Amino acid sequence: MFSLHPSLTRSDALWRGGIALVLGLVFLIWPGVTIGTALALFAIFCFVDAAFALTRLFSSGRSAGDRVLQVLRTILDVAAAIIVIAWPGPSAEVLTVVIGFYVVVVGVLELYSTSTPAVKAAGSTGWLVATGILSIIAGILLIVWPNIGAVTLAIVFGAYLTAYGLIMLVSALRAPKGETVADPV
């Protein structure tokens, strides 16, 4: 049996949470960012997330199923990043819907992963539930109101990344040294 969410090392979780937190704060502090900046920041987040997925892909002890899921996750991240870089001209509404769907899928995967034995053993199901619900709510808001504009998109996505980063950092800091942290996508 394979788990949807492999565990991260503490340092991976700290880096990932820190990057999400910094990007989220950038969005919140400067909500008037241009759509081009929002696209670049989203692409950076996706590329970094894909790099972490690739790192986990080649780590020892992974089942074939885990490796397949890491490859799919990497493809999703890279595809999302390339799409927003290659076609920066689409309206903020299209970008908002794309990001909204991405965030909803992340939230669903996080909620699903709370039932896996590895996550239950790590004792972090509460954090995964919190990030899953937060992701789904933020994604639905972006999908339902795609005409909210770049500033509101920056605020909503910034709040999401900030909360996600904080939850990831707290989860990593609570994990005992040498232990792994459940990966909330």
Cα separation values, 131 from 30, 75, 170, 177, Å: 24, 22, 12, 23
Q: Is residue 2 part of a domain?
A: no
Q: Is residue 12 part of a domain?
A: yes
Q: Which carries the bigger pLDDT value, residue 92 or residue 173?
A: 173
Q: Is residue 178 part of a domain?
A: no
Q: What is the pLDDT of residues 31-74, one digit of tens each?
A: 766 567 777 888 899 999 899 888 877 877 777 777 888 888 89
Q: Is residue 184 part of a domain?
A: no
Read off the pTM. Answer: 0.52
Q: Is residue 125 part of a domain?
A: yes
Q: Is residue 180 part of a domain?
A: no
- Residues in CB range of 80: below 8 A, 6 or more apart: 42, 43, 46, 98, 102
Sign of CA dihedral 109, 117, 129, 153: negative
The β-bridge partners of 147 are none
Give how many domains the chain has, as a whole number: 1
What is the predicted pLDDT for the residue at 150? 65
Q: Is residue 183 part of a domain?
A: no
Residue 19: which pLDDT band, with cuts at 50, 70 and 90?
very high
What range does the domain containing 16 cover?
Answer: 7-173
